[in-house]
Structure 1
Amino acid sequence: MSETLPEYDLFAIRYAMRNAQRRDHFIGGDPHEGPMPMDYFLWVAKSPERTFVIDCGFTKEVADKRKRTFLRDPIDALKLVGVDADDVKDVIISHLHYDHVGNFHRFPVAQFHLQEPEMHYATGRYMRYPRLSHSFEVEDICGIVRLNFQQRVLFYNSSAELAPGISVHLAGGHSAGLQFVRVHTRRGWVVLAIDVSHFYENMESNRPFPTAFHVGQMLEGFDALRALAPSPAHIVPGHDPLVMSRYPAPSSDLEGIVVRLDVPPSTS
């Protein structure tokens, strides 16, 4: 008899946003110009046995520097779903762009899970090109290097099961070592696309986001999301404000801040 997989509670926490236009989110722009704001999230998967924090956002200082609207401290916001960063033992870093790794230093005992190609990319020859390096903060990268010397980074080179019901999957494309995360929940497997698809529309229209290392891998990434999800409704994009309207808040006081991804989305 096969072992029953744990069912994780799965949350998205919205901590920042920026006003943007449709042309900002598709390679080649978009013929239907208009507003298309972007949200910034981190995610939490919790079971009685284990908690994973997935990405850790950026700081207020970086928000000011990059002209993002900082809504709340993402690490303090973990407490809204019963998680204290001081106790977190596992942090999955999807990739090393500024908005996914900026608070690494706020997890004093965590092991960090990262694809090895991402470390090579962020410290390698391509960082001499501003078109690629602009999405990284140098101090974040140096910090992850230091954590590696402290034996606190676990590296992968493809798909890997981190624990029963939690797996990571190398996609590349947007960044050389971008990974997405698959989580087993009460509604089955949920695929956190993260930046494999910033918006629902990127994947649905097969039009990648403009920040690109390898466009072909970005397109294949959409296929990989679909292959690992039971249905399109089980794929959650990484920056789409629609996530906040399609999924319910855990309680009325968390409306607009936290949503549950372990229940089906609304169809409206």
Structure 2
Amino acid sequence: MAADQWEIVVVRHGTRHARRSDVYMNYGFYGEADDDFTVDYYLWVLRNGEQIIHVDTGYSQAGAAKRGRTVLIDPLEALRRLGASAESGNPLVVTHAHYDHIGNVAAFANSPIYMSGAELEFWTSDIATRPLFSHYGDQDEIADLLAAEHEGRLVAFSGRLELSPGVELIEIGGHTPGELVVSVQTRAGEIILAGDAAHFREELDRDMLFQSMADVPQSYRALDWLRSQTDACIITGHDAGELDRFTPLDGALAGHAAVAGRAP
């Protein structure tokens, strides 16, 4: 497949109604009035002809119920409707190991899984069970990653990894110790899936950090790096406006998905 023929299906599977003070770190420092805020939850599917790469798996029904998140469409059902079911054995990229990004990993029982080694090491350490981190983690889901490692299906790397021509995984850290971003070459140019290196466009525009960051200085550096990629389109991890930026997907996923990377 040509390296620049990828397209990205952005799937919104969940949502949350919050307050600005719920999502931005030390919100009072900005001297602004509080207000309502919407957090959306996504997973992404890269397509190049018959080749498919999954990026993250969304949250599970149990993970949503535990934290009061709304399920708009079950992530596994969304993938089935897209013709990219979890059982198909396509590669899976884990940008980071929070509950809303690995909630359905067990369903990808035939897939090779790619993630940062620093990320896996962190979530299998004692620090991962401390309250400031454990809210976003789930030890049962981490166990699913360890089972994949035991089966020889998990590839833990550091730095950069070319997963396929036109798709590069880049370890950037900050939000979590091994947060990844994904660079994808498309007909419309380079697109970078920021994962949670940038949850919202406002983070990029105003240097406002999400309320949970494992490494605050590195989180700022990650935003600096994303902003330096001036020729790339950045897709954030949770901004409620992401679907509106791209071509709506018709059919069984109408209202839940859009396609990025098609030629203008």
Counterpart AA for 2:58: G
CA 1:4/1:63 → structure 2, altered by over 3 Å: closer, same or farther? closer
* Correspondence for 2:5: 7
* Correspondence for 1:240: 239
1:128-147 equivalence runs, <5 A: 128-147=129-148
* Correspondence for 1:62: 63
Point out the more displaced range, 251-260 or 21-30.
251-260
* Correspondence for 1:25: 23
CA 1:61/1:128 → structure 2, altered by over 3 Å: closer, same or farther? closer
Output the CA distance in 2 between the equivalents of 1:128 and 1:60: 21
Task: Output the TM-score relative to the length of structure 1.
Answer: 0.92
Counterpart AA for 1:201: E
Output the CA distance in 1 between the equivalents of 2:199 and 2:263: 20
Deviation at 1:25, TM superposition (A): 2.1
CA 1:50/1:60 → structure 2, altered by over 3 Å: closer, same or farther? same
CA contact (8 A) 1:199 1:239 kept: yes
Output the CA distance in 1 between the equivalents of 2:34 and 2:203: 15
Output the CA distance in 1 between the equivalents of 2:229 and 2:91: 23
- CA offset digits 1:232-261 (Å, max 9, x no partner): xx0011001111222221226644200112
CA contact (8 A) 2:187 2:263 kept: no
* Correspondence for 2:186: 185
How many percent of aligned residue pairs carry the same amino acid?
28
Partner SS, residue 160 of structure 1: strand
Please tell me the root mean square deviation across aligned C-alpha atoms, in Å.
Answer: 1.8
CA 1:159/1:227 → structure 2, altered by over 3 Å: closer, same or farther? farther
Deviation at 1:219, TM superposition (A): 0.7
Deviation at 1:146, TM superposition (A): 1.4
CA 1:97/1:264 → structure 2, altered by over 3 Å: closer, same or farther? farther
Pair 1:256-2:255 in alignment? yes
Partner SS, residue 212 of structure 2: coil
Output the CA distance in 2 between the equivalents of 1:138 and 1:188: 38
Output the CA distance in 2 between the equivalents of 1:174 and 1:69: 23
CA 1:4/1:73 → structure 2, altered by over 3 Å: closer, same or farther? closer
Partner SS, residue 221 of structure 1: helix
Unaligned runs of 5+ in 2: none
Output the CA distance in 2 between the equivalents of 1:36 and 1:22: 5
CA contact (8 A) 1:247 1:264 kept: no
Counterpart AA for 2:190: W
CA 1:38/1:264 → structure 2, altered by over 3 Å: closer, same or farther? farther
1:131-210 equivalence runs, <5 A: 131-210=132-211
Pair 1:216-2:217 in alignment? yes
Output the CA distance in 2 between the equivalents of 1:128 and 1:189: 37
- CA offset digits 1:191-216 (Å, max 9, x no partner): 01110000000111111111111011
CA 1:218/1:86 → structure 2, altered by over 3 Å: closer, same or farther? same
Output the CA distance in 2 between the equivalents of 1:263 and 1:26: 33
Output the CA distance in 1 between the equivalents of 2:230 and 2:260: 14
Deviation at 1:264, TM superposition (A): 8.0
CA contact (8 A) 2:118 2:158 kept: yes
Counterpart AA for 2:259: R
Output the CA distance in 2 between the equivalents of 1:164 and 1:94: 19
Deviation at 1:12, TM superposition (A): 0.6
Point out the more displaced range, 238-247 or 79-88.
79-88
Output the CA distance in 2 between the equivalents of 1:209 and 1:76: 29
* Number of corresponding residues: 261
Partner SS, residue 37 of structure 1: strand
Partner SS, residue 137 of structure 2: coil
Point out the more displaced range, 80-89 or 118-127.
80-89
Unaligned runs of 5+ in 1: none
CA 1:252/1:90 → structure 2, altered by over 3 Å: closer, same or farther? closer
Deviation at 1:127, TM superposition (A): 2.0
Task: Output the TM-score relative to the length of structure 2.
Answer: 0.93
Deviation at 1:134, TM superposition (A): 1.6
Output the CA distance in 1 between the equivalents of 2:50 and 2:224: 32
